[in-house]
A and B are shown apart, each in its own frame.
Chain A
């Protein structure tokens, strides 16, 4: 099917065009293929493609109720994730859409059941604009009441009610929290081990405690009744299945919300760039790595007001070409005009009067003592505040730690994944060894093992600050943003 247009390499625009003209099933198939062949790469493009596809799936879905819709999205999501398991954003977008559907469906139930429904519905579906999200979140459920003396790791999976999902929403956040009276304080917290193993989906204890979450569909799970946490959730009025929610009641709203996610994906770089002046002072020496539109935008925004020096590290071999094109021409290799909605054309930092020094990745340690700040783009951010970034970022971040240089990570919320990294090696994708050593070199090919890891896992303690489109956060706070954007029932998409 993609072979039909083999004259041009299929990429995201190709997929988006196909999405308009083809049926849903072939489109899912096509995207899975493109992801599998890494013809759509980079988190941003993957997120866009996934969201566009999910929107189409939603629009075309002809089911009876919300639960069927959830199942359908989950199954599509599983196929996409299987195609590119380490591109977390694909899963993220699927989970966000799932959370959306839950929100809207919950709203529909509450709307019909409760007198406070208006408030609840509004709060659920429209809450959470930009950086207000966390403020409001804290207003809604006081952390003191709901999160007593627990580490952030466990809190990630605490069965609190989850906020709504559209951070880019233009609707001003509601001042009143939703359903303030319906929460009861959690009487008992699950133990740390239980909470952690819960996500790995294998521990039987987890099933006992959180059975609800490991079997997220339409649930009649009796084991969950034992859990005080669960009871609290139930008493908070979260319906466990949406079989009685007719699809037609929620479809329009869900589609609208998905469109807002797309808006967010398009404006995320600009939103992050708004914080640039808060973080860059005059005459600073900033070190950055890889070619990233987010970082470029950020630095360009700062460059309008301040003069500073950028040390751009060229990561050999995977990032090298795109880094050079970014430094020399201002746009990463994957840059695609059709997708770029920014009004002004992209320009290199040097055009903004910034001194850019390109160094090879080996020289990072040597220069780190003179660097004021490290600003990194990331591949994925994980729920514990750690991240997965291009190979070589580990060298930079460690060197920064050794030299006490602050490390700032720029990441759209869409890169924030509810996955908790239990096995770091699992997160690492290994790339084509041919870019390290040409296969034409007989001596090398026959006798040497050549490796080319694409990513590094970076632990949260090495990061000083995250800047997302919602603002700046400490790594320890990310769990909260995860909770705001995803539903715990969707962390594990497997059946």
Chain B
């Protein structure tokens, strides 16, 4: 099911993903700036929304409060809100979606990318809602794998049902794109979030009696963040950029007039995106691609926008090399990667992760992307990365990790169990033809006691498997991650 979701939507991540940030960000900027340009229309949409919903507003508020309470509690309470969509909120959905669409189209004007994404989000959401809705019950405590009990949060949000009304439409859209993996990957999610926050800030007005610096973070930004978190736990890079943004907001003098403050913030986000992601990407791609020698076979796992950029940079520089892309269930991100590489004319092989030992034996160099670099030098990345790195270590094939410093964290990790993300288990059952077969499996799964399905998204690769981490600060051994963190800290203080 994810699979079918992914393939039609596959162009989307590449729009949103900073595959070519210089172009992607403006593309993303398009709608947002349009939104900013019609800054009157920003409040307009907000005004329009309550107007339209005025009938249902009270009810909705209550529901939102309830939802918030429920969310604060355990997730045992989640089945009810998810079961709801089947019945009563069916109307609500129809009410809400037009609103979102209107909001989107109004703010986006003619710029189409957001509109398309919003639409396809709806489409995919509908698909995903209709399928996982029956699967919701199994997320009960009995279907949770004991070892990972601490990681099960609330069930992932797949709808904008009961979303707090302060949540900006672009954040709503992004949240749904994240929960359905349309926007997937640490960098893409981070960029998407910052872009969405730009429009959040642009459409923000400070209420009477407070100052922007105090109100924006606590009262306006946090519901947006909460919504994103409910859609999918946020990545390290998102956490880092949120911290950055909050710092920026707090620094703003209360005496600064609001429009200027907002402009400053938007500019700061742009700078951040440029410095920490798009420029960093270019630097890293250049440095890493210089390590590819002619005739080599490069192995990579799943999809990393940065590795893709690196390989394309090497290809554009005239180096001829082969690529083997390994991929795994259930996200099949490598499929996109392999297609992109093949489309660029790089001879590409594609294999499942079960072929890892064969693939590594043929490879001269391994390039891996990262979700995060932990302070103890371990690599936190898509589940399966550790397997590839392990084989590489065994075969003495150098493993090179491409990672922007925005993904560095001062957290440490020893294993993949304490910190991880547990995705909905039914994603693993999705591939079997969909339809009745899948329904049957879900039913068996739900009804069989003791039958659990675990779908974790990340694993931790031991530092000794990683030979090199390429960052915008240079190429370092994994043991130097804390050093980079120090540089970052001092830079932050300097700012």
Q: Provided the pairs A328-B451, A350-B451, A399-B390 are in contact, do residues A448 and B349 lie with their beta carbons within 8 angstroms?
A: yes
Q: Provided the pairs A366-B383, A366-B386, A444-B339 are in contact, do residues A358 and B350 lie with their beta carbons within 8 angstroms?
A: no
Q: Provided the pairs A314-B329, A447-B342 are in contact, do residues A366 and B390 lie with their beta carbons within 8 angstroms?
A: no
Q: Chain B: which residue is nearest A436 at the CB level?
A: B352
CA–CA, A428 and B349, complex, Å: 18
Question: Which of B342, B449, B451 is A327 in contact with, Cβ under 8 Å?
Answer: B451
Q: How large is the interface on B (under 10, 10 to 19, 20 to 34, 35 or more residues)?
A: 35 or more
Stretch at the interface among B87-95, B242-250, B412-420, B480-488: B412-420
Q: Chain A: which residue is nearest B346 at the CB level?
A: A447
CB <8 Å contact, A366 and B339 = no
CA–CA, A441 and B348, complex, Å: 15
B 448-490 to A, binary, CB cutoff 8 A, 1 in contact else 0: 1111111110111000000000000000000000000000000
Q: Chain B: which residue is nearest A329 at the CB level?
A: B444
Question: Which of A363, A394, A402 is B357 in contact with, Cβ under 8 Å?
Answer: A394
Is B30 an interface residue when CB atoms closer than 8 A count as contact? no
Q: Which residues of A contact B348 (CB under 8 A)?
A: 447-449
Q: Provided the pairs A350-B448, A362-B328 are in contact, do residues A395 and B338 lie with their beta carbons within 8 angstroms?
A: no
Is A355 an interface residue when CB atoms closer than 8 A count as contact? yes
CB <8 Å contact, B328 and A361 = yes
CB <8 Å contact, B387 and A320 = no
What is the predominant secondary structure among interface residues of chain A facing chain B? mixed
Most buried by B among A363, A369, A370, A428: A363
Q: Which residues of B contact A436 (CB under 8 A)?
A: 350-352
CA–CA, A441 and B343, complex, Å: 14
CA–CA, A447 and B450, complex, Å: 44
Q: Which residues of A contact B330 (CB under 8 A)?
A: 360
CB <8 Å contact, B454 and A359 = yes
CB <8 Å contact, A453 and B342 = no
CB <8 Å contact, B338 and A448 = yes
Most buried by A among B330, B351, B391: B351
Distance of B386 from chain A, by nearest CB (Å)? 4
Distance of B460 from chain A, by nearest CB (Å)? 7
CA–CA, A456 and B352, complex, Å: 13
CB <8 Å contact, A362 and B353 = yes
Distance of A65 from chain B, by nearest CB (Å)? 47
Is B384 an interface residue when CB atoms closer than 8 A count as contact? yes
Q: Chain B: which residue is nearest A310 at the CB level?
A: B450
Q: Provided the pairs A324-B432, A361-B329, A449-B348 are in contact, do residues A350 and B449 lie with their beta carbons within 8 angstroms?
A: yes
CB <8 Å contact, B350 and A449 = yes
CB <8 Å contact, B354 and A315 = yes
CB <8 Å contact, A357 and B391 = no
Q: Which residues of B contact A456 (CB under 8 A)?
A: 354, 357-358
Q: Which residues of B contact A474 (CB under 8 A)?
A: none
Distance of B356 from chain A, by nearest CB (Å)? 6
Q: Chain A: which residue is nearest B356 at the CB level?
A: A395
Distance of A364 from chain B, by nearest CB (Å)? 6
Question: Which of A318, A353, A360, A452 is B328 in contact with, Cβ under 8 Å?
Answer: A360
Question: A-B contact count, CB below 8 Å?
Answer: 175
Q: Provided the pairs A354-B450, A357-B452, A357-B454 are in contact, do residues A453 and B387 lie with their beta carbons within 8 angstroms?
A: no
Q: Which residues of A contact B428 (CB under 8 A)?
A: 314, 358, 360
Q: Which residues of A contact B328 (CB under 8 A)?
A: 316, 360-362
Is B27 an interface residue when CB atoms closer than 8 A count as contact? no
Q: Provided the pairs A315-B354, A453-B355 are in contact, do residues A363 and B383 lie with their beta carbons within 8 angstroms?
A: yes
Q: Chain A: which residue is nearest B431 at the CB level?
A: A320
A 441-472 to B, binary, CB cutoff 8 A, 1 in contact else 0: 10110011111110010000000000000000
Distance of B469 from chain A, by nearest CB (Å)? 19
A 312-335 to B, binary, CB cutoff 8 A, 1 in contact else 0: 001111101100100111000000
B 134-150 to A, binary, CB cutoff 8 A, 1 in contact else 0: 00000000000111000
Q: Which residues of A contact B357 (CB under 8 A)?
A: 394-395, 398, 456
CA–CA, A132 and B70, complex, Å: 65
Q: Which residues of B contact A309 (CB under 8 A)?
A: 146
CA–CA, A447 and B344, complex, Å: 10
Distance of B220 from chain A, by nearest CB (Å)? 37
CA–CA, A364 and B329, complex, Å: 12
CB <8 Å contact, B450 and A350 = yes
Distance of A325 from chain B, by nearest CB (Å)? 10
Is B321 an interface residue when CB atoms closer than 8 A count as contact? no
Q: Which residues of B contact A190 (CB under 8 A)?
A: none
CA–CA, A328 and B330, complex, Å: 18
Q: Provided the pairs A365-B387, A450-B349 are in contact, do residues A356 and B452 lie with their beta carbons within 8 angstroms?
A: yes
Is A129 an interface residue when CB atoms closer than 8 A count as contact? no
CA–CA, A452 and B329, complex, Å: 14
Distance of B374 from chain A, by nearest CB (Å)? 14
CA–CA, A316 and B358, complex, Å: 15
Most buried by B among A309, A354, A448: A448
A/B interface sample: 6 pairs, CB < 8 A: A361-B353, A362-B387, A363-B454, A392-B353, A436-B352, A443-B342
When A and B form their complex, which 10 residue pairs have the shortest distance between CB atoms, in order from nearest?
A362-B384, A392-B354, A366-B416, A447-B342, A362-B328, A366-B459, A365-B386, A394-B357, A391-B354, A350-B450
**Given A353-B450, A358-B452, A394-B391, 11 extra CB contacts under 8 A:** A317-B354, A327-B451, A366-B460, A391-B355, A395-B387, A395-B391, A436-B352, A448-B339, A448-B342, A451-B358, A456-B354
**Chain B interface (Cβ < 8 Å from any Cβ of A):** 7, 145-147, 328-330, 335, 338-339, 342-343, 347-358, 382-384, 386-387, 390-391, 394, 415-417, 420, 428-429, 431-432, 441, 444-445, 448-456, 458-460
